Amino acid sequence: MHALLVQIKHELTRFQATKNSIETLFIGGGTPSTVSPKLYAPIFSLLEPYLQEGCEITSEANPNSATYEWLEGMKKLGVNRISFGVQSFNANKLKLLNRAHTPQMAKEALLNAAKIGYKNLSLDLIYATLGDTKELLQNDITTAFSLPINHLSAYALTIEEGTAFETRPEMSSEQLEITEWIFQKIKEHGFEQYEISNFGTYRSKHNLGYWEYKDYIGAGAGAVGKLGTKRYYPTPVIEEYIKEPLHIKTEELSQEDMRLEKIFLGFRSCVGVAKEILSDEEKIRAATLVEEKKLSYENGLFFNTDYLLADEIALFLSS
């Protein structure tokens, strides 16, 4: 936490942060709920002058460690949104995913957060895992909507290098038909899909900031920050980060890198893609997709209506 404070001070200077210039704050990656609110207090004191009034302040939390006291302590610091890593309400699936909580713990954590007064509550569900059935997934969705949430994230299980499931690729099995079915079921509960994995009656301003290609400070081991044409990468190894929190790698983005990223991000979300960033050839292809009802066009922006086709559309335009 001390190393974080050192890096945040450095980044506030680098980003030339001014009073009320920070729109959103997100505490995540790892498990923020294992850290006492007392240890967050110096960071909140440092950031307070920079936070806009009504700033969205989110913390991720795991149901097994997000105690009533922790949730209360974080609310007193100013956190106004909690995103719970629930993954599933099926006990066997939680064991398969090596999660430390039970379905009951997840329900209690969400009900406690609502009782404490959090208005914006989100939970994550994971699909495309070994043993998933429509019945299991339907139960997860039904249970999620029986709880006081206004936002839901649905992620397909992906097998990453260096994770517990690296030696078990059979754990993940995404099928397009099931993904489409899940998205439809969530929408039937009145949650609008505003980007490829996120749904809600509430749209997270922090999530949208990435899709809108805004600048952001990334503080902590393995974080990523972006300022103009540069990306910043603190070391991902926690022990090294503690010793040298300002050991940060820089990546220079070309104008073409940024343009292509805006196209991919815009089609994966409700943000859309500005016509002005497209080449003449891409504009012609985009107009064809509008005629074919694959894209819509409004106020100088192309919008994609089916986020599952986002990458194919982006590749089609820029190939």
Given pLDDT bands bounded at 50, 70 and 90, which one contains residue 8? very high
Q: Tell me, yes or no, whether 186 and 271 share the same domain.
A: no
pLDDT in tens, 51-105: 999 999 999 999 999 999 999 999 999 999 999 999 999 999 999 998 999 999 9
Supply the range of the domain harboring residue 312: 255-318
Please tell me the predicted confidence (pLDDT) of residue 175: 78
- As given in the structure block, the two tokens for residue 66 are 């997000």
Q: Tell me, yes or no, whether 282 and 203 share the same domain.
A: no
Portion of the chain with pLDDT greater than 90, in percent:
89
Please tell me the predicted confidence (pLDDT) of residue 315: 95
Mean pLDDT of the chain: 94
Please tell me the predicted confidence (pLDDT) of residue 165: 47
One-letter identity of residue 133 = T
Given pLDDT bands bounded at 50, 70 and 90, which one contains residue 305? confident
Q: Tell me, yes or no, whether 170 and 267 share the same domain.
A: no
* Domain edge (last residue) among 146, 179, 211: 211
Please tell me the predicted confidence (pLDDT) of residue 34: 95
* Domain edge (last residue) among 211, 233, 265: 211
Q: Tell me, yes or no, whether 205 and 269 share the same domain.
A: no
Please tell me the predicted confidence (pLDDT) of residue 318: 85
Q: What is the pTM of this model?
A: 0.93
Q: Tell me, yes or no, whether 32 and 165 share the same domain.
A: yes
Q: Tell me, yes or no, whether 166 and 65 share the same domain.
A: yes
Please tell me the predicted confidence (pLDDT) of residue 146: 98
Three-state DSSP class for residue 299: coil
Residue 124: inside a domain = yes
Residue 237: inside a domain = no
Please tell me the predicted confidence (pLDDT) of residue 157: 84
Q: Where are the beta strands (DSSP E) in 62-119?
A: 81-87
Q: Tell me, yes or no, whether 113 and 261 share the same domain.
A: no
Given pLDDT bands bounded at 50, 70 and 90, which one contains residue 125? very high
The number of residues in the chain equals 319
The count of structural domains within the chain is: 2
pLDDT in tens, 213-266: 999 999 999 999 999 999 999 999 999 999 999 999 999 999 999 999 999 999
Please tell me the predicted confidence (pLDDT) of residue 162: 59
pLDDT in tens, 142-181: 999 999 999 999 999 875 555 554 455 555 566 788 999 9
* Domain edge (last residue) among 176, 211, 246: 211
Contacts of 151 (CB under 8 A, 6+ apart): 83, 120, 121, 122, 123, 191, 198, 199, 200, 201, 202, 203, 204
One-letter identity of residue 204 = S
Please tell me the predicted confidence (pLDDT) of residue 174: 62
Looking only at the bridges linking them, the beta strands covering 22-27 and 273-274 are unpaired
> What torsion, rounded to 10 degrees, do the Cα atoms 58, 62, 67, 73 define?
-20
Q: Tell me, yes or no, whether 301 and 171 share the same domain.
A: no
Q: Tell me, yes or no, whether 179 and 313 share the same domain.
A: no
Any idea what the CATH number is for the domain that residue 191 is in?
3.80.30.20
Portion of the chain with pLDDT greater than 70, in percent:
95
Residue 12: inside a domain = no
Q: Tell me, yes or no, whether 151 and 298 share the same domain.
A: no
Residue 155: inside a domain = yes
Phi/psi region, residue 30 (left: phi>0; alpha: psi -120 to 50; beta: rest), is left
pLDDT in tens, 100-115: 999 999 999 999 999 9
